[in-house]
Structure 1
Amino acid sequence: MAALIEVENWGVTFGRRARSMTTCIRDIDFSLGAGEVLGIVGASGTGKSVTIQSLIGLYDHRLTHIHPDASVKLLGVDALAGKRTYHAYQKRLRPLLRGRVGMVFQDHRALMNPLKTVGQHFRDAARLAGIPYTRRRVQETLRKAGCAVADEESLSAWLRKVPRQLSGGEAQRVQIAISLLSPHLELLICDEVTSNLDTHNQWRIIRLLQRLHREQGIALLFISHDWDQIQTLSDRILVLRKEGNVGVPYTTLTKEQSLDEDRLRQDETISQLLPLYHDVEQSQAQRDREPLIEARDLRKSFHGREVLHGVSLSVYPGERYALIGESGSGKSTLARMILGVERMSDTSGDLRVMGRSRLEWDGYDSKIQMVFQNFSEAVNPYMTSGRHLEALLKVNPHGDRAEADDWMRDLGIEDCREKTTGQMSGGEKRRLGLVETFSVHPKLILADEPTAGLDKARQSFFLKKMEAYRIAKADEAVTEFMISHDLHLVGSYAERIGVLYSGHLVQEAEAACLLADDVPFLHPYSELLLRAKDLELDENEDEDEDDTPESAAMGCCYYAACHRRHKVNCEYRDRVPPRTEHQGGWSLCPYPV
């Protein structure tokens, strides 16, 4: 098998001056053969993305320095021959990789210009790859990437879209299609492409990559912290770990070795990456009090388009409640309405928060705090974390400086007080977000995807710290309303779970009942989120999904995308299904699993 990549002793140091140099990775060795799939896995901060992005020349040459004993062969060419500066290395890479190596990023915003249409992105990609732009080639690559482009009209509709009109799964498929545009492609690099998607879309992307590899023989370099996905897709797995603050290789596993689950769970480094066992023995919330959050037939529209369709739910004081759904289902819209930062115009029904209707009161209450997914977008990158805390405590009457200091020590970021938030790592900024939240003594915490993009160990760490705050404030009955796309994760933490699909609340149940192996009633969408890895879905699923809005207007909101409807001869295409009560909750589907 010809080697596409051969790397020895790869290491990268960042910094402009010698005294401020920081080594991020070192001693990285790996190879990738033509048509092979290599997975790179490791905890957050072990240098997975830095390894690959530095290797293909994506960093600023003024701040990036290659370790002197590194050796790199890409596509059979010694890429470090001659002058060994990063700038010279980048110059040699451009003609070498052009049209032969494609890359798909974690966040489509990192690649796609929000002002350009999908068609303009394809034109740019064709120009950079040095190939002619043809609509036939674009249609072919979109079809390979799982997009529904059966005719010229549907192709034109896709090409007219701008990034904000794409869901998370659609954006990733478009990115893959753009990467496949060159007919000379030999290697596709996928950097955390599934970490911001719901479980259903994650496994759709994994199956798509499997099919591309099988049908076209393209080599894949798949970077992730999700062990299930790495194990499913890869022929070999490179495991990275941290040695101090530097990412180094730990081991390389074959496919057979990666299946030995018992042995891997005894390995301290790898056990942090394995799926969590679920603790479903949760305490029952006290529900004889007035709900802290109560939505009654809540509907919300933007520019005439309804995004929440008659949502009704209640969250009680001291409860851990989780709302699950894919990107664009309306989860964050509901959270912003609860927080009071989303205008209540174009709204019907009612939303009561802490005893007051949001239709009559849209002010800020410091007793309600938000934990953001992208905390870096909510802070000034030039202010130190210490100044951020001072500003917060100055404007918040409930702030407690001593408690903020205690939480900084407890979360391990006390030494970041003099760092600007731009100098802090992603994990450090997320922990600062928890400190800011806890230090003002909230009674209601809204957590919007607080663990997205983190490995299993750090997900568990964040959830344990949120629970530690609840325990510390047990006499105040702190309520947590968590938004996530990972049903397995919140099932090990929340007491009750609501499942939101396209603005419709389709199921609500106690976590223990929803995750039980013998659950009698499970909405098809809930089943998809729980068992997406194992379910065999209709090959024409993408085409069916296009009919969902019309189907929702006539009857069941999930009818067009439902994988069960033919098996049960579903009668609810043209009428709304009844709400079926079952042990521990209800489902908007009358058919048992």
Structure 2
Amino acid sequence: MTGVQIHGLTVRGPQGVMVEPFDATIAPGRTLAIIGESGSGKTLSAKSLIGLLPRGFRAAGSAVIGDRSLELDAAPAAWTSVRGSTVALLLQDPFTSLSPVHRCGDQIAWTLQAASDRRIAASDLAREVAARLAEVKLPERVARAFPHQLSGGMRQRVAIAAALAADPKLLIADEPTTALDASNQAEILDLLRAVQARRDLSVILISHDLGLVRGRTDDVLVMQHGVIVERGATGDVLSAPKHPYTRALIDADPVLAPPRETAAPEADQTPTLLQATGVTKHFGERTVLDGVDLRIGEGEIVGVVGESGSGKSTLARCIAGLEREDGGVISFVGENLAPGRRSRTPAQMQIVFQDPYSSLNPMMSIGSILREALAVARRPASDVAVLLETVGLPTDFAGKRPAELSGGQRQRVAIARALAPRPRLLICDESVSALDVSVQAQILALLTTLRDDLGISLLFISHDLAVVRLLADSVTVLWDGRVIESGPCEQVLTEPRHEYTRMLVAAAHRENTSVGTGERED
């Protein structure tokens, strides 16, 4: 049998063994998922198969991929002929995997030329690039575009075309759709499945999205602290898990099925904290927000959902004063906020961004980061301990730096910093999308506790309808910069009136189907 056979894969790092030895087999045309929390070793395992381990890490073991045998401890130079032609890597964010200063066609052409033992004529190269773009359902004109001129879904299609340009036998897809909304996720996953079937390609999928893993993979490895704790057919493992860790991951997964246990408060029963009326925003000739209305009551959690480019993050930035709206009125605690306001964001309104790795200064200790926020809020430095305890972190974390913390711990610090001015409104812009499911669940529980204990209102921006349904009281659906539906969260997401909302819900449901079967759609 060809395909992929892995023998004794292990990874050592500065602290010792990071991944314990394991074997795996992936038949042609089949997909193996590796799931686990951040730091479990799943990405290290995958990168050892393409020679891209970080400095200070070494792999051992061997692999047979197609007709090629590889020693995983090979010298760096030996991997040059492997990447692209034998193994390809598809990363989470095409903005970082594609060069921003080169045209998309050139980046596909590089892979084609690198895999060839002769120089390819320019005309032949152009035809090959057009063929690769056509395979991922992109027009030939995309070859002349730069990545920033494309949508997120189109950029990921270009990244797929570049990764597969040299006909590899194994594709490693590391969180390939995490940065995309539900409909774009479904399109990209359908595309990958079609290409995989056509090429008889073996795929390793690394993901924290168990809904995606359920319906899109054949077999699964569950990894905890570098050890495979459970393995088997995806349907068997996820419907009848044997290991407590696997059960914990499944319990933390915010699937769309379970309804909220508590009823959402009626909008007219709570005093208005924030009111946005007729908000408009243009970038050049493009209208990003077109007369948007939004209301947030005291102690209410309001979700805003929509596809990439729908305007949801721009709305959040206009509310926070990080973007200047072109029209409309935004009032907070009964006062209109001028678009050109000097105090950009009111002290009682704070924002928590998506990426906890870039929103904290890596050169400062956690204590210094929080003391700086407390000083701005005119609170004593001794309140650092109070902030840490509020977000469920030990007080000795004050002496650590961000690099010493996990993703979930960093996001707790970001939330603690936002709590320093004692805000009445917390704006969360995709604040859990970069986290694995168990950490997501912990952060969502924390946000709910902050609302319940401190009375804080939340504006929760997300492309993940399952998470929004789990957290929000009411939801607003944005499409092309306009509100097309809003109301109680349970009602909107179970009985959507607008065709666009129905499409979003259907796309989210598709990634949570096949539970317990392990079967894939043909």
Length-normalised TM-score, structure 2: 0.88
1:585 aligns with none
Separation (CA, whole Å) in 2 of partners of 1:46 and 1:176: 26
Instruction: State the SS of the aligned residue for 1:12.
Output: strand
1:567 aligns with none
2:135 aligns with 144
Structure 1 stretches of 5 or more lacking a match? 15-20, 150-154, 537-593
1:111 aligns with 97
1:429-481 per-position Cα deviation (integer Å, ceiling 9, x unaligned)? 2121111122331111000011103232221211111121222223xxx2110
Separation (CA, whole Å) in 2 of partners of 1:510 and 1:233: 31
Is 1:201 the equivalent of 2:184? yes
Task: Quote how far apart the aligned CAs of 1:9 are.
Answer: 4.4
1:458-469 matches, cutoff 5 A: 458-469=439-450
Is 1:514 the equivalent of 2:489? no
Residue type matched to 1:139 in 2?
A
2:206 aligns with 223
Separation (CA, whole Å) in 2 of partners of 1:507 and 1:264: 42
Do the aligned partners of residues 535 and 374 (structure 1) sit closer, same or farther apart at CA in structure 2, a change above 3 Å counting?
closer
Question: Alignment partner for residue 254 of structure 1, among 233, 249, 255?
Answer: 233
Do the aligned partners of residues 534 and 389 (structure 1) sit closer, same or farther apart at CA in structure 2, a change above 3 Å counting?
closer
Residue type matched to 1:512 in 2?
E
Separation (CA, whole Å) in 2 of partners of 1:66 and 1:535: 37
Is 1:46 the equivalent of 2:55? no
Do the aligned partners of residues 360 and 239 (structure 1) sit closer, same or farther apart at CA in structure 2, a change above 3 Å counting?
closer
1:269-418 matches, cutoff 5 A: 269-272=248-251, 274-276=253-255, 277-279=258-260, 281-285=262-266, 287=268, 291-344=272-325, 347-359=326-338, 362=341, 363=343, 364-397=345-378, 399=379, 401-409=381-389, 411-412=392-393, 414-418=395-399
Instruction: State the SS of the aligned residue for 2:276.
Output: strand
Instruction: State the SS of the aligned residue for 1:46.
Output: coil
Separation (CA, whole Å) in 2 of partners of 1:380 and 1:296: 35
- Given that 1:80 and 1:89 are in contact with CA atoms closer than 8 Å, whether structure 2 keeps it comes out as no
1:135 aligns with 126
- Given that 1:404 and 1:436 are in contact with CA atoms closer than 8 Å, whether structure 2 keeps it comes out as no
Residue type matched to 1:27 in 2?
P
Task: Quote how far apart the aligned CAs of 1:275 are.
Answer: 4.4
- Given that 1:335 and 1:446 are in contact with CA atoms closer than 8 Å, whether structure 2 keeps it comes out as yes
1:558 aligns with none
Is 1:498 the equivalent of 2:498? no
Bigger relative CO (Cα 8 Å, ≥ 6 apart): 2
2:148 aligns with 164
Residue type matched to 1:170 in 2?
M
Is 1:531 the equivalent of 2:506? yes
1:236 aligns with 219
Separation (CA, whole Å) in 1 of partners of 2:278 and 2:497: 22
Separation (CA, whole Å) in 2 of partners of 1:174 and 1:292: 43
2:71 aligns with 80
1:4-54 per-position Cα deviation (integer Å, ceiling 9, x unaligned)? 23131412313xxxxxx3543223332223332211112233122121123
Separation (CA, whole Å) in 1 of partners of 2:189 and 2:317: 32
Residue type matched to 1:509 in 2?
G
Task: Quote how far apart the aligned CAs of 1:496 are.
Answer: 0.5
Length-normalised TM-score, structure 1: 0.78
Separation (CA, whole Å) in 2 of partners of 1:23 and 1:265: 23
1:415-454 matches, cutoff 5 A: 415-454=396-435
Instruction: State the SS of the aligned residue for 1:514.
Output: helix
- Given that 1:491 and 1:511 are in contact with CA atoms closer than 8 Å, whether structure 2 keeps it comes out as yes
Task: Quote how far apart the aligned CAs of 1:222 are.
Answer: 1.1
Separation (CA, whole Å) in 2 of partners of 1:264 and 1:250: 7
Separation (CA, whole Å) in 1 of partners of 2:16 and 2:371: 29
- Given that 2:210 and 2:250 are in contact with CA atoms closer than 8 Å, whether structure 1 keeps it comes out as no
Separation (CA, whole Å) in 2 of partners of 1:286 and 1:524: 24
Task: Quote how far apart the aligned CAs of 1:290 are.
Answer: 5.3
Separation (CA, whole Å) in 1 of partners of 2:53 and 2:246: 34
Instruction: State the SS of the aligned residue for 1:56.
Output: coil
Identical pairs, percent: 27
- Given that 2:274 and 2:333 are in contact with CA atoms closer than 8 Å, whether structure 1 keeps it comes out as yes
Separation (CA, whole Å) in 2 of partners of 1:22 and 1:393: 39
Separation (CA, whole Å) in 1 of partners of 2:315 and 2:360: 23
Separation (CA, whole Å) in 2 of partners of 1:161 and 1:280: 48
Is 1:187 the equivalent of 2:187? no
Separation (CA, whole Å) in 2 of partners of 1:461 and 1:256: 26
Do the aligned partners of residues 30 and 530 (structure 1) sit closer, same or farther apart at CA in structure 2, a change above 3 Å counting?
same
Do the aligned partners of residues 507 and 263 (structure 1) sit closer, same or farther apart at CA in structure 2, a change above 3 Å counting?
farther
Do the aligned partners of residues 136 and 265 (structure 1) sit closer, same or farther apart at CA in structure 2, a change above 3 Å counting?
farther
Instruction: State the SS of the aligned residue for 2:220.
Output: strand
Separation (CA, whole Å) in 1 of partners of 2:91 and 2:129: 20
Separation (CA, whole Å) in 2 of partners of 1:421 and 1:535: 36
Instruction: State the SS of the aligned residue for 1:422.
Output: helix
Do the aligned partners of residues 145 and 413 (structure 1) sit closer, same or farther apart at CA in structure 2, a change above 3 Å counting?
farther
Do the aligned partners of residues 529 and 433 (structure 1) sit closer, same or farther apart at CA in structure 2, a change above 3 Å counting?
same
Residue type matched to 1:249 in 2?
I
1:159-215 per-position Cα deviation (integer Å, ceiling 9, x unaligned)? 232222222211111111111212x32121111011111111111122112211222
1:29 aligns with 23
Residue type matched to 2:202 in 1?
A
